[in-house]
Amino acid sequence: MIVVQKPGLLASVQDLGRHGHRQLGICPGGALDVLALTLANRLVGNVDGAAGLELTMGGCEVRFETDTRIALAGDDFGAQLDGVPLWPCWSVPVAAGQVLKLSGANAAGAKKAGLRSWLAIAGGIDVAPVLGSRSTDLKAGFGGHEGRALRKGDKLPLGTSRLDAAQRTRKPFGLRGPDWGPEEADSAIALRVLPGPEFEQFTLAAREVLWGERWRITSQSNRMGSRLAGTELKRKRAGDMLSSGVIPGTIQVPPSGQPIILMGDAQTTGGYPRIGVVIRADLWKLAQAPLSGKLRLVQVDMAEALAAWAEQQRYLAQVAQGLAVAGWPGAA
Amino acid sequence: MSGLPPPRLHLLGDAALLCELPAPATLVQQQRIWALAAEAREWPGVGEVLPGMNNLTLTFDPTAIELDALTAQVLEAWPKLSAKAVEGRLVEIPVAYGGEHGPDLGDVAAHTGLTPAEVVRRHSAGEYVVYLLGFLPGFAFMGGLAPELATPRRAEPRTAVPARSVGIGGEQTGIYPLVSPGGWQIIGRTSLEMFDPTAESPTLLRPGDRVRFVVESVET
């Protein structure tokens, strides 16, 4: 069992998401950075689909009531386990009674840090699955722990770990985190984007702005979407759209002309024109992009999107291979 | 056989395909959308099917089925679809109209020039069709509202519309499954749960269902 001593801005139980129910209006939710949760889970010997905690902007404390093993991925926010730094993508043993603290400040190692962290614990958070997932649907109020964000004092049960005693207590080890790509001159984060179904409805000038602008992520962003600020994106003609499916990564443009990139908790259908869609391989960067940070949107085609996806899968396969060589349980 | 024009196909990211029919949206076209959804969900490599209004989004695994193959499959299936493929159920929804459950019944009456009792009579006389679910779990976008009942959304949306509220927003009517912010004119409330995540069928309504509102009580 673990105890939430301080939840920070927003802490919730999340796994890889609740899939297969979109046509009932149920959003996929889940960890916004699936890659980070997957890495953290593998580092503690969990299956990829085990539930962990998604933490927002540090400021949280978790106490472990049993001997276990943990890994943190994403931004570390100066994480310390009883005063000892815990680096992202490291797997460390934990003794009952130890406390993990995330402050507000980032360690020097986390270059682009600034928004979210994912914590995996051996065995995973063992709340009851609802509709096939342990993720918390914060808007609809079900799943996860009592269908809500975590509060001070919440106690969360852990599932059965796949690590034996020798593995659980093995000395800390880490792996190379995912690649952010080349550093942008103004430290903007580049997201690769496929033009959306309504791309052509925007003026030529707007389409140039889309690719040329340094978009600022506003503080109105949340698990439903990242709201961007920049030059207004104008359509050739105003007009209502009929309700149509949206998925995480969809860049929709409301009448204000300020785009919103939808994330896991967004509603399943929308009525705003979709100027583009962030490719799957880059969604994790958006999940970690700090508020007030800058984004650059880079146009790609389907072949480039699929190549990026394949590259990410290769990285995950290398991680799995490395852990297998070290005698760790398989990812499955 | 379908004499309907084929859908326009467009990628929605690198793992979803939008199939969109030409305007205007009609029930006949929507029936083909449901039929395509029912068929496509069985195809290898296709994940989820999500009917919209006059369109369908398919998620797919591009490593399992290539885009060209999926596109060809949609266009080949399209002319053979039967409008009767999805047989919706008739669902009766009891409603307590007006009073504390329907605080905007008076405003709808004022806007439409009808008496509140007449608004209730006409609203409960119609048979509605669930075109799609979206916005919230179990929220049904329904067609079939009598045109004279159309009322614009409230100028100031409510921050918390109670769960199971029945409302009119523009030319649509619907039921809020959960407490939610919302701008629709609230004319009543049902006692039925629209969404229960622990139930075998988590939503009361599904695309293709027909709906009748049954007057349980009226307070004007």
Provide the pLDDT for residue A187.
Answer: 83
- Which residues, 6 or more positions from A292, have their beta carbon under 8 angstroms from its beta carbon? A216, A217, A218, A219
pLDDT in tens, A267-291: 999 989 999 999 999 999 999 999 9
Residues from chain B that touch A22, judged by Cβ atoms under 8 A, are 48, 50, 59
* Range of lowest pLDDT (A30-34, A114-118, B114-118, B213-217): A114-118
User: Which residues, including other chains, have CB under 8 Å from residue B141's CB and lie 6 or more apart?
Assistant: A243, A269, B53, B130, B131, B132, B133, B134, B135, B172, B174
- Residue A108 banded pLDDT, cuts 50, 70, 90: very low
Which site among A24, A252, A304 would you substitute to test the B interface, given the most B Cβ atoms closer than 10 Å to its Cβ?
A24
Q: Give per-residue pLDDT as tens, B108-144.
A: 999 999 999 999 999 999 999 999 999 899 999 999 9
CB-CB under 8 Å, A140 with B57: no
| Residue A183 binned pLDDT confidence (cut-offs 50, 70, 90) | confident
User: Among candidates B93, B90, B177, B92, which has minimal Cα distance to B138?
Assistant: B177
The whole-number pLDDT of residue A331 equals: 61
Rounded CA gap, A271 and A251, in Å?
12
Q: How does DSSP classify residue A97?
A: T
Q: Looking at the partner chain, which of A25, A194, A310 has a beta carbon nearest the beta carbon of B13?
A: A194
For residue B38, pLDDT over 70 is answered with yes
Residues A30 and B116: their CA atoms lie apart, in Å, by 45
| A247–B contact, CB cutoff 8 A | yes
- Number of Cβ within 10 Å of residue A4's Cβ equals 20
Chain B contact present for A112, CB below 8 A: no
Q: Tell me the C-alpha to C-alpha distance, in Å, between residue A264 and each of A40, A220, A240, B135.
A: 19, 16, 25, 14
Which residues of A fall within a CB distance of 8 Å from B18?
Answer: 197, 244-245
Cis peptide before B24 (omega within 30 of 0): yes
Contact between B55 and A22 using a beta-carbon 8 Å cutoff: no
Q: Which amino acid is at A269?
A: T
What distance in Å separates residue B172's CA from the closest CA in chain A? 12
Q: Percentage of residues in chain A with pLDDT exceeding 70?
A: 97
Q: What are the structure tokens assigned to A39, written together? A: 């890495």
Mean pLDDT over A224-250 rounds to 94
One-letter identity of residue A177:
G
Q: Whose CA is closest to A211, among A294, A272, A298, A89?
A: A298
- Between A277 and B220, the more confident residue is A277
Q: Would you call A20 and B53 a contact, using CB atoms and an 8 Å cutoff? A: no
pLDDT surpasses 70 at B56: yes
- Please state whether the predicted TM-score (pTM) of the whole model is above 0.80: yes
pLDDT > 70? residue A200 = yes
pLDDT class of A332 with cuts at 50, 70, 90? low
Is the ipTM of this structure higher than 0.90? Answer: yes
In chain B, which residues have their Cβ closer than 8 Å to the Cβ of A20?
47-48
Q: Helices B67-77 and B27-40 meet at what angle, rounded to 10?
A: 130
Average pLDDT over every residue of A243-259: 96
Interchain contact A20–B (C-beta under 8 A): yes
Burial of residue A173 (CB within 10 Å: 0-12, 13-18, 19+) is: middle
